[in-house]
Amino acid sequence: MARKQGKAAKLKPAKRKSSANKVAKQPKPIELYYWPTPNGFKITIMLEECGLPYVIKPVNISKGEQFNPDFLKIAPNNRMPAIIDPQGPGGRPISVFESGAILQYLGRKSGKFYPADERARVEVEQWLFWQMGGLGPMAGQLNHFKHYARETLDYAIKRYEDEVNRLYGVMDARLKSRPFLAGKYSIADMACVGWANLWQRQGQDIEQFPNLKRWLEAVKARPAVKRGMAVGLELRQGIDMKDPKVQAVLFNQRAKVA
Ligand SMILES: N[C@@H](CCC(=O)N[C@@H](CS)C(=O)NCC(=O)O)C(=O)O
């Protein structure tokens, strides 16, 4: 909705406005360095939910654009998503990497989906960090070993399938007595939905988790979530994750020592 698609990776900060045209001009859109994956969707969902104007800067991770020097200046972990907000604190540009930190930043900026009240905020943060440290990495490793690894390693597949199953059990228990992870809908739900949506691919049976199933349907029914999870899907069309050239970019990455 609030989105435009731009060309990748010219990371010039926004020029300062003169005071004469400050009032009349629209705010500059947030630049979202993005590829359509569950980590990317977290941010498109939040931007759509908040109605914040943004422009997509595609980072084609299958071609290695996450290693472009300009991108590394704002995202030193060579992973998307990252943002540049031209109207950051003090009216100056700011860049943020790590999807959890971006969600928190946008939550503070907009005053939405990330409550200021300390108790409510702690509820959100526990589940946000649970996703960042648990569900995301475990499901990511499962995806690797189950779908992409050149050797079939039963031990690794079982290890991560079990762990994702355990995490879904934790989520299901949490959702038994509340509609959303932190009570009210929040950035914690946005962080999880793209991952939980892949339950089939993760070898899980959603019927084992009725509360998670109800939550997933409710979150996915939100118009902003639908829009957010549709952003840029066309970008990855025709990309074969089993292509050795793609795997050479994405797998076996080691430290690049200067
Ligand atoms: N902890 C990071 C993880 C981001 C991440 O893993 N991004 C993946 C796509 S989902 C990526 O950019 N991969 C590029 C690569 O593996 O080189 C976050 O949540 O922002």
Q: Are 31 and 94 in contact (CB under 8 A)?
A: no
pLDDT at residue 228 greater than cutoff 60: yes
CA of 24 to the centre of ligand 1 (A): 38
User: What is the rounded CA–CA span in Å between residue 127 and residue 212?
Assistant: 14
Q: Among 3-12, 28-37, 215-224, which stretch is predicted with the lowest mean pLDDT? A: 3-12
CA distance 190 to 188: 5
Confidence bin at 22 (pLDDT 50/70/90): low
Name the residue among 11, 80, 26, 73 with its Cα closest to residue 231: 80
pLDDT band at 192 (very low <50, low <70, confident <90, very high): very high
Decide: pTM greater than 0.85: yes
Give, for ligand 1, the residue of 79, 131, 241 to mutate: max count of ligand atoms closer than 8 Å to Cβ. Answer: 79
pLDDT of residue 14 exceeding 60: no
Query: Ligand 1 centre and the CA of 79: distance in Å?
Result: 4
Higher-pLDDT residue of 208, 13: 208
Instruction: Report all structural domains of the chain as residue ranges with CATH numbers, in order of start.
Output: 3-112+231-250 (3.40.30.10), 118-221 (1.20.1050.10)
pLDDT of residue 6: 58
**pLDDT level of residue 108 (50, 70, 90 thresholds):** very high
Per-residue pLDDT at 1 exceeds 60: no
Confidence class of residue 26 from pLDDT cuts 50, 70 and 90? confident
Q: Which residue has the higher pLDDT, 109 or 27?
A: 109
Asked if 184 contacts 178 with a C-beta cutoff of 8 angstroms, the reply is no
From the centroid of its chain, how far is CA 69?
22
* pLDDT band with cut points at 50, 70 and 90 for residue 12: low
With a 6 Å cutoff on the Cβ, whether 141 touches ligand 1 is no
Please give the mean pLDDT across all residues of the chain.
Answer: 93
Asked whether the beta carbons of 197 and 219 are under 8 A apart, the reply is no
- Separation of 151 CA from ligand 1 center, angstroms? 23
- Residue 211 in contact with residue 172, Cβ under 8 Å? yes
From the list 25, 117, 105, 118, the residue with the least C-alpha distance to 95 is: 105
Tell whether the model's pLDDT for residue 141 goes beyond 70. yes
Specify the residue for token string 């900026």: 109
| Residue 157 in contact with ligand 1 by CB distance below 6 A | no
Structure confidence at residue 9 (pLDDT): 47
User: What's the pLDDT at 72?
Assistant: 98
How would residue 21 be classed by pLDDT, with cut points 50, 70 and 90?
Answer: low
Edge to edge, the sheet with strand 30-34 lists 3-5, 54-58, 30-34, 82-85, 94-97
Over residues 79-104, the mean pLDDT reads 98
Residue with the smallest CA separation from ligand 1 atom 13 is: 79
Residue of minimum CA distance from atom 16 in ligand 1 = 250
DSSP structure string for 150-182: SS--HHHHHHHHHHHHHHHHHHHHHTTSSSBTB
Q: How far is the CA of 177 from the centre of ligand 1 (A)?
A: 32
**Distance from the alpha carbon of residue 214 to the mean position of ligand 1, in angstroms:** 28
Closest C-alpha among 178, 168, 185, 176 to residue 220: 185
How far does the centroid of ligand 1 lie from the alpha carbon of residue 39, in Å? 7
* Best residue among 41, 44, 78, 80 to mutate for probing ligand 1, ranked by most atoms within 8 Å of CB: 80
User: In angstroms, rounded to a whole number, what is the distance separating the alpha carbons of residues 228 and 41?
Assistant: 6
| Average pLDDT, integer, range 141-150 | 96
Q: Answer whether 241 contacts ligand 1 (Cβ < 6 A).
A: no
Residues 169-187: tens digit of each pLDDT: 999 999 999 999 999 999 9
**Can you tell me the mean pLDDT for 25-43?**
95
Cβ(202) – ligand 1 distance below 6 Å: no
pLDDT band at 27 (very low <50, low <70, confident <90, very high): confident
Confidence of residue 31 (pLDDT cuts 50, 70, 90): very high
* Other CB atoms within 10 A of residue 226 CB: 12
Does 211 contact ligand 1 (Cβ within 6 A)?
Answer: no
